[in-house]
Structure 1
Amino acid sequence: MGLTSQSLEYTVIVLAVACVAATVWLWPRLARRGVGAVLGRLGAILVTQVSIVCALALAVNTNYEFYGNWDELLGNTDEAPAAVSQGGGQYTSVGNLKGGLVQPAGPQGLDRVSGLPKGPADRVGKVESVKIVGRRSRAINPGFVYLPPQYFQQQFRRQRFPVMVVISGYPGGIMNLAQHLQVPQNAGRLIAQGKMQPTVIVMVRPTIAPPRDTECVDVPGGPQAETFFTKDLPDAMKSAYRVGRDSSAWGAFGYSSGGTCSLQLAMRNPKIYTSAVSLSGDYAIKDDLTTGSLFGPGPEGARREREHDLLWRLKHLPAPQVSALVASSRKGEADYGDTMKFLRAAKSPMTVDSIILPQGSHQFTTWRREVAPALEWQSQQLTFPQDTEPLPQRKPGTAKGGAPGQRTTPSPAPSASDDNKGHRRVEAERPQG
């Protein structure tokens, strides 16, 4: 049974309940005097406590996906696997597997998510469960890939689609993006309503070396997280799917630590990502108990840490030609002050928009209000169609193939209003009900 499977979770819960019931039933017999009775009481208490703790830990891990499988829990690391052929099951179909950089995976919890596309892919789209292999970083990261209906439609067969790299917070995993933020569900609805252009969305977690929080940083002598997000992941997606080659087709999107990563990736690598969405992200990266030393010792380490401070970058370095959307709340969010400093510090050619709620804490209730307008906003920053696949060679005497892919008309941007700080405010959705 998989670490995040429902069958394992239910089995452990049943065992915990059984241990408690057995302890209550046997306790009168263990109430006698003597070494055997004392050891029996201690054993019953120990087994009961361990079973309850295991059930709680498993339920929390299943919900937040701190560890996705047994190897991650036990610290076992895989070597980069060989290419896997297509076919096998509901979650094993991947686009065009060239080089095996995107590997089909089991459900990874996707079977527990409600509201995912059901039906013909060319009508409702599809969500694939995959593993992404990093050739340079040597990392193997779990992911979900959302493919819009247009990806499977004949008139778009030659088009390369824009890409959003959506990054979860830490220590949560990709399940949070599908289950709590409902990124693929929101994207499908917005595309069907014409509020978002057809976009491929790859959902990943920010760390490439769990349980360590790598914060999208290339650690000296350690995990190369920035390399994974700026080189390995784009290479893998381009090898397996019809996605844009130019940076204008690529954007980063995240909440909490994932929002921090998104801003870092775009501002430090504008030739890879030209837009970023940060929901409740930070503007500097600091070492803590979960990260360990990210930058190394001495003056060189201090320089590296300083260059990951985005307010410092805006003050001392030329602004990158990227667009960013930042979200915070006046009450309830610790990053509100730094968010306002970031908005004031932004300068041309960089553009920054914002979602500022009157009140909202650092949790999914807040981010669910922001995710739909943020997806709309980023969709407007990405180009489509990026370019086209070459037409297949025709044999003499055969009819010419169907019409080339059609360019979609850009949908209007989410409602925004100018403020007196030189940036725009993007309206968040009001809570339902």
Structure 2
Amino acid sequence: MLLDPLQIPIVAPAVLVPVDVVAAVLVLWTLLGPRRRGHGASWSRGRTAVLVRVAALAVGAAIGLLAVWWFGDVQDLFGVAFTAVTRMWVAVAAAGVVLFLVVLVQGGWGRRVVALAAGAAVVLAAGLGINVDFGAYRTIDQAITPDPYPSGTLDHQHAARPGAHVVDAAEWHAPQGMPRHGRTLAVRIPGTVSHFHARPGVVWLPPAAQVADPPTLPVLIALSGQPGQPSDMFETGRIGVFLDRYAAAHHGLAPIVVSPDQLGAPGRNPMCVDSRRLGRSATYVMTDTVHWVEQHLDVASGASAWGIAGFSQGATCSMQFSSAHPEVFGTTLAISSELAPSNGSLQHTIAVGFGGSRRAYERAVPEALLAAHKPYRDHLTVFGYGQDDAPYRQSTLALRAASERAGVSTDLIVSPGSAHDWNTVEYVLEHGLPAVLAHLGLPVDDTRTPLTGTGR
């Protein structure tokens, strides 16, 4: 059976180690490769050329580190604090590129070809290393496919019934022929009220939701980070994998997961608010998406059966929505949330998102929303962040304190050895979902125990 190259696991040592070794060998050959034997001036020129190439590596690495510091730390163009591992790989990539440029000037077609190969191998190795550090893509297919799930129909589903409760697990018996795994499909959630131009969303149906007479289940709204797309929580965060494990141990029961597009495009950040310049993202999620779920899925009624989860920008949105609408969402999972909606500088955020009104901005931050809607009753928020993610650690702890002051029950998951990346998302999902599921009305023997297996 032929191996599909798009399914090659690009995070496996079997791929990473050979790429790193090839890159190192090519760089060494470029630096010290075969030289003509000579004496006197010829030998001196060869030694000088080697020293220049070594200096090029050092200069390139310095340029890479400087670029990360300027664009990442000073300008904060990416909204995250880069880890030492990512900084190292950026330095390595820049060093490889500068080495190639120097050899291009020094001459020698053989060495130029090898230097080109070395530069490409180093950049590839750096890209793979950064990908592992961020936990973004496991295969080539994930990296190049923007919309991985096929469109489909919601078979056996019907509109939610007013007043319906989550199925009693003790009375549920899985019918014969029930699928063994959840089903993930792309759906179009129209912006009927908001007129927000959203990309297709993603729905995950547990095995029990795919039978002819499905039980009434809770629902979890899942929001990606920014930049991002609705499939991220499934493809990269692997939320469906964790819930499949849960469903396998609970006769096919699990929440239905709906991931709408709160962004509109990968690089857009409408901050989950309604604004003239960025669109009505808040109305799209809280009106259009909520109504669509109620009209198309057999989900239970009431905040006790509705949860919302997100990572980074999606976590900030989750905190905004759950804090402002406790009548809709009774459970929240916020992974690496910001303190407040943000789109660049504070001045730019207020200008594009709040019509220039600082007062409107201050009313929209989760801490203010929590204070305005307290006391909360029977609400749970599970917070999570990466151990090495200092900025989001501060914001998470502040939001947790504000939530507890407002009467929200909280839990905290800290992902060891990770930062603002998808490794953190996987760890928090694995260890935080049991408490979320229990609060949504599904059976969990011990909410402190992570789901079976590991997400790493």
- TM-score range (shorter-chain normalised) is 0.5 to 0.7
Measured in 2, the distance between the counterparts of 1:212 and 1:292 equals 16
State which drifts further: 325-334 or 307-316: 307-316
Is the aligned partner of 1:134 residue 2:194?
no
Instruction: Please say if residues 64 and 173 of structure 1, whose CA atoms lie closer than 8 Å, have aligned partners that are also in contact.
Output: no
Q: Greater helix share, 1 or 2?
A: 2
SS at match of 1:334: helix
2:402 counterpart of 1:342: no
2:229 aligned with 1:173: yes
CA 1:314 to 1:198, structure 2 compared with 1: closer, same or farther past 3 Å?
Answer: closer
Q: 1:197 and 1:333 mapped to 2: Cα distance?
A: 37
The one-letter amino acid of 1:341's match is A
Displacement of 1:430 after TM fit? 9.1
The CA deviation at 1:265 is 0.9
Moved more, 186-195 or 369-378: 186-195
- Match for residue 414 of structure 1? 447
Q: Give the TM-score of the pair, scaled to structure 2.
A: 0.58
Secondary structure (helix, strand or coil) at the match of 1:122 reads coil
CA contact (8 A) 1:284 1:310 kept: yes
Query: What is the CA-CA distance between 1:62 and the residue it aligns to?
Result: 8.0
Instruction: Tell me by how many angstroms 1:225 deviates.
Output: 0.9
Change (3 A) 1:291 1:207: farther
2:269–2:343 Cα contact (<8 Å) kept? no
1:211 shift after superposition: 3.9
Q: CA deviation at 1:151?
A: 1.4
1:382 equivalent in structure 2: 440
Richer in strand (by share): 1
1:355 and 2:388 aligned: no
Residue identity in the other structure for 2:152 = T
Q: Deviations over 1:18-48 (max 9, x none)?
A: xxxxxxxxxxxxxxxxxxxxxxxxxxxxxxx
Q: How far does the alpha carbon of each residue in 1:188-228 deviate from its partner, in whole angstroms, 9 at most, with x for none? A: 11121239942111123431366421121111464111111
Q: 1:143 — aligned with what?
A: 201
Instruction: For residue 427 of structure 2, give the secondary structure of its aligned residue in structure 1.
Output: helix
Quickly say closer, same or farther: Cα 1:211–1:93, change in 2 above 3 A: same
Tell me the number of residue pairs that the alignment of Structure 1 and Structure 2 aligns: 305
CA distance in 2, matches of 1:316, 1:176: 32
State the distance in 1 between where 2:350 and 2:272 align.
13
> Retained in 2: the 8 A contact 1:212–1:291?
no
Distance of 2:252 and 2:431 partners within structure 1 = 10
Q: Partner of 2:279: helix, strand, or coil?
A: coil
Partner residue of 2:281? Answer: 225
User: Does residue 305 of structure 2 align to residue 238 of structure 1?
Assistant: no
Equivalents in 2 of 1:152, 1:64: separation in Å?
A: 29
Residue 358 of structure 1: CA displacement?
Answer: 4.4
1:65-109 superposed Cα distances (whole Å, 9 cap, x missing partner): 89769xxxxxxxxxxxxxxxxxxx96422347889xxxxxxxxxx
Counterpart-to-counterpart distance in 2, 1:336 and 1:90? 37
Cα distance change, pair 64–143 in 1 and its aligned pair in 2 (3 A): farther
| AA at the equivalent of 1:308 | A
Q: 1:291 to 1:194 in 2, by over 3 A?
A: farther
Q: Indicate conservation of the 8 Å contact 2:201/2:231, yes or no.
A: no
CA drift at 1:349: 3.0
For the Cα contact (< 8 Å) 1:267–1:320, is it kept in 2?
A: no
Distance 1:414 1:351 in 2: 14
Percent identity for Structure 1 against Structure 2: 19
Q: Note closer, same or farther for the CA distance 1:348–1:312 as it changes in structure 2 (3 Å cut).
A: closer
Q: CA deviation at 1:413?
A: 3.9
**Mapping of 1:232-381 within 5 angstroms?**
232-288=288-344, 293-298=351-356, 301-315=357-371, 318-321=374-377, 322-345=379-402, 346-381=404-439
Counterpart Cα distance in 2 of 1:240 and 1:225: 21
Shift of 1:187: 0.7
1:301-328 CA-partner distances (Å, limit 9, x unpaired): 2122112222344456524332111112
CA contact (8 A) 2:270 2:278 kept: no
Say whether the 8 Å CA contact 1:64–1:176 is kept in structure 2. no
Distance change >3 Å, CA 428–CA 98, structure 1 → 2: closer
Comparing 335-344 with 289-298, greater Cα deviation is found at 289-298
* 1:134 positional shift: 2.0
**For residues 143-172 of structure 1, what are the alpha-carbon distances to aligned partners after superposition, in whole Å with 9 as ceiling and x for unaligned?**
221111111335xx2632110111111111
SS in structure 1 at match of 2:187: strand
Residue 373 (structure 1) shift: 2.2
> Does structure 2 retain, via aligned residues, the 8 Å contact 1:331–1:360?
yes
2:339–2:395 CA contact under 8 A, matched in 1: yes
- Aligned equivalents of 2:150 and 2:395: distance in 1? 44
CA contact (8 A) 2:222 2:309 kept: yes
Unaligned regions of 5+ residues in structure 1, if any?
Answer: 1-5, 7-55, 70-88, 100-119, 385-409, 417-426
RMSD of equivalent CA atoms: 4.0
The CA deviation at 1:366 is 2.0
1:24 match:
none
Per-residue deviation, 1:128: 1.7
Q: 2:210 & 2:145 partners in 1: Cα distance?
A: 33
Deviations 1:212-260 (A, max 9, x none): 2112111146411111111111111222221223222110011111111
Change (3 A) 1:302 1:195: farther
Aligned runs of 1:14-93 on 2, under 5 Å?
Answer: 91-93=151-153
Structure 2 vs 1, CA of residues 189 and 342 (structure 1 numbering), >3 Å: closer, same or farther? same
Distance 2:153 2:353 in 1: 39
Code of the aligned partner of 1:280: S
